[in-house]
A and B are shown apart, each in its own frame.
Chain A
Amino acid sequence: MLSNRASAGLRPASAMVMRAIFLFFVGLLVVLPVVAISLEAFRSGFGSLWKQISHPQALAALWLTLRMAMIMVVINVVTGTATAWVLVRNRVPLRGLINALVDIPFAIPTVVTGMMLVVLYGPHSVLGALLGRHGVEVVFSRPGIVLALLFVTFPFVVRAVQPVMMEMEGDMEEAASTLGAGRMRTFFQVVLPTLLPAILSGAALSFSRALGEFGSIIIVAGNIPMRTQVASVYIYGEIESGNPGGAMGLSVVLLVISLLTLLVLNLLQQRSQRHAATI
């Protein structure tokens, strides 16, 4: 009993009040809304939910979201790891400034991000006109979605990989190359396995952010059904047109994918902690 009181460090009454405040805060903000949508979805029945999801426009939006997010993740994993590598290992001019600017996508409103991309790649811009002449459309088109996703998720992989890279002192690489491994072999057999959990968790964070991204995409890609309409934009459209039932289907799908991503992320973090513990 003594240890219990000591670990609380508080009189039982104040501990209970704090616990009640915590339960109210998290309960009202997170638990209740998730329970509400789950029960509403359950009440509308599996058949009706499936009808909403399998609606061609909803299915196209979901499929587009997943595809764009996948493309973004593949690019982001490569460029994010390379950026972290260069920032940690190479001598770069203005390294401090670049390192600070990596976080800018977290600080800048997504709507502003969308407008920046329109300014840069829109049909009236130099770059947009040049690309247009070669048949590449960015704004109101799919490349715009990928660009917007790349911008908003840019920090995730870099910031996940950077600390692990900084801890890697290079002695393993040195050992590998002393033993005669080439640079490629050292990278793929020594460096990459060490970085992999961090890279994957950065990728999972980017992916889950990309599935839900809304502000930048609605500006850059607009809301063209079957062509540039992503899941979050579809859900928004259904809510706006007074059809919450239609919004329910894709919301539940996104929610389930979010939960799964979170689960994977937790497993990855547990694994990398266990990995760190064994070193």
Chain B
Amino acid sequence: MRPQSDFVPLSLRQGVPMGRHLLTGAVLVWFGLLILFPLFGIARETLNYSWETIRATLHSPASVHAFWMTLSLTVAAVMINTVLGTISALVLSRQRFFGKMLLESSIDLPFAISPVVAGFMLILLFGPNGWLGSILERVHVKIVYAFPGMLLATLFVTMPFVIKEILPVLREFGAEQEESAAVLGADNWQTFWRVTLPSIRWGLGYGVTLTIARSIGEFGAVLVVSGSIIQKTQTATLMVHDQFTDLNYAGAFSAALVLALVSFVILNLIQYVYRRKGEN
């Protein structure tokens, strides 16, 4: 047997090593075909177009506006999720009240519900004939087919990330340290900034990173509530879809490549924050 530095279970050491190599090979081939191939494909496809074409389509007013929309939605979703998500997790971990269990399990719902159904529910609620929509219509507040509706859709699909990431951390380290801080005379804010936040910051960071990725990539829910109006409610992913179905491939692939590159940056961020989270 070859000497090996790390422990290898006996069941793997005995018998033919052939099987192990075959398994590794099979997994690598599958991974390459399923994940890597498509990634290269989109880069190669975009390179079919001249640099000038790519630049021109990305600089068109519609494209600039679409990326701006995506950025605004992402920033707003991150800010709201950071503040309200942290408060929600604090309430769930530190308070007891009637119906808490039910509300806590309802936080899982957005991950299980189809984005299209999520958008549909928002239309039922906030559309011109909807429950709240008809009331808001009277005071001239437009939700559906406008930014607020798109933000609600983005918030719906991203809200579990922050809460789910920091809730277990808050539960684990418990209220003892916060209580000690309070006994020692710290007020609520001091306790939060100096005791609570430092312990949850990497969990929060991880939740925020996932929120960014999902906000940029969200398509179905935003499509349903926005109507994808060019230069008004069209986000980057909506533009990619519209241009692709309109056979405007240069535009679609240029924007898709930008989005793919952004996701690589986010992937690195996810890895980095995840490692830091594990260290704490």
Q: Give chain A's interface residues, CB within 8 Å of chain B.
A: 4, 6-11, 14-15, 18-19, 21-23, 25-26, 29-34, 36-37, 40, 79, 82-83, 85-86, 89-90, 92, 98, 100-113, 115-117, 119-120, 125, 147, 150-151, 154, 169-170, 173-174, 176-178, 183, 186-187, 205, 208-209, 211-215, 218-219, 231-233, 235-236, 239, 244, 247, 251, 254-255, 258-259, 261-262, 265-266
Interface string of B247-265 (1 = CB under 8 A from A): 0000011001001100110
Q: In the assembled complex, how far is the CB of residue B80 from the closest CB belonging to chain A, in whole angstroms?
A: 8
- In the complex, B193 has a CB within 8 A of chain A: no
Q: Which residues of B contact A33 (CB under 8 A)?
A: 118, 121-122, 124-125, 156
**Is B197 at the interface (CB under 8 A from chain A)?**
no
Of the listed stretches B28-36, B49-57, B60-68, B134-142, name the one at the interface; the rest are far from the partner chain: B28-36
Question: In the complex, are the beta carbons of A21 and B9 less than 8 A apart?
Answer: no
Does B232 touch A at the CB level, under 8 Å? no
- Asked if B112 and A208 make an inter-chain contact with CB atoms under 8 angstroms apart, the answer reads yes
Assess whether A232 is in contact with B114, with CB atoms less than 8 Å apart.
Answer: yes
Q: Which residue of A is nearest B218, CB measured?
A: A109
Provide the bound-state CA to CA distance between A258 and B109, in Å: 8
Which residues of chain B are within 8 angstroms of A103 by Cβ–Cβ distance? 267, 270-271
Q: Tell which of A21, A98, A208 touches B87, judged by Cβ atoms closer than 8 Å.
A: A21
B11 A154 Cβ-Cβ under 8 A:
no
Beta-carbon contact of A151 and B9 below 8 Å: no
Residue from B8, B28, B36 in contact with A92 in the complex, judged by beta carbons closer than 8 Å: B28
Given contacts A25-B84, A254-B113, 18 further A-B contacts (CB under 8 A): A4-B96, A10-B94, A21-B91, A22-B88, A22-B92, A29-B110, A29-B152, A36-B124, A83-B27, A86-B27, A98-B28, A101-B31, A101-B36, A106-B210, A111-B240, A151-B35, A239-B116, A266-B108
Closest beta carbon of chain B to A98's beta carbon, Å: 6
User: Whole-angstrom distance from the CB of B2 to the nearest CB of chain A?
Assistant: 11
Are A29 and B26 in contact, CB atoms less than 8 angstroms apart? Answer: no
Inter-chain CA distance A112–B266, complex, in Å, is 15
- CB <8 Å contact, B23 and A26: no
Residues of B within 8 A of A6 (CB): 175, 179
**B72 interface contact, C-beta 8 A:** no
> Which residues of chain A are within 8 angstroms of B37 by Cβ–Cβ distance?
120
Type the 1/0 row for B197-238, where 1 means its CB is closer than 8 Å to any CB of A: 000000000000010010011111001100000000000110
Instruction: Given A36-B125, A83-B30, A177-B11, verify A214-B39 contact (CB < 8 Å).
Output: no
Residues of B within 8 A of A265 (CB): 108
Number of residues of chain B lying within 8 A (CB) of chain A: 98
Q: CB distance A116 to B9 under 8 Å?
A: no
Which of chain B's residues have a CB closer than 8 A to the CB of A173? 9-12
Task: Check B117–A251 contact: CB distance below 8 A.
Answer: yes
- B contact face: mostly helix, strand, loop, or mixed: helix
For A9, give its contact among B34, B39, B106, B191 (CB under 8 Å).
B191
Q: Are B224 and A82 in contact (CB under 8 A)?
A: no
A26 to chain B: closest residue by CB: B103
Query: Which 8 A-B residue pairs are closest in the complex by CB-CB distance?
Result: A212-B114, A170-B9, A109-B217, A116-B38, A33-B121, A215-B219, A214-B220, A258-B112
Known: A254-B117, A262-B112. A86 touches B23 (CB 8 A): yes
B118, chain A: closest CB distance, angstroms: 7
B120 touches A7 (CB 8 A): no
Residues from chain B with Cβ under 8 Å of A19 in the complex: 91, 95, 97
Contact B88 A25 (CB under 8 A): yes
Inter-chain contact A22/B219, CB cutoff 8 Å: no
Q: Which of these, B15, B44, B259, contacts A112 with CB under 8 Å?
A: B259
What are the residues of chain B within 8 A of A89 when measuring CB–CB? 8-9, 12
Q: How far is the CB of A209 from chain B (nearest CB, A)?
A: 8
Q: Are A40 and B124 in contact (CB under 8 A)?
A: yes
**Contact at B117–A212, with CB atoms within 8 Å?**
yes
Contacts of B268 in A (CB 8 A): 100
Chain B 56-89 interface 0/1 with A at a Cβ cutoff of 8 Å (1 = within): 0000000000000000000000000000100110
Q: Is the CB of A104 within 8 A of B116?
A: no
B236 → chain A closest CB, angstroms: 8
Q: With the chains together, A89 CA to B20 CA distance in Å?
A: 10
Complex Cα–Cα for A23 and B124 (A): 21
Most chain B C-beta atoms within 10 Å of own C-beta, residue among A103, A176, A178, A205 = A103
- How far is B237's CA from A34's CA once the two chains are assembled, in angstroms? 26
Does A18 contact B87, Cβ atoms closer than 8 Å? yes
- Kindly state whether residue B169 has any CB partner on chain A within 8 Å: no
Q: Can you list 8 pairs linking A and B with CB atoms under 8 Å apart?
A: A7-B94, A29-B156, A92-B27, A106-B213, A109-B237, A177-B9, A239-B119, A251-B121
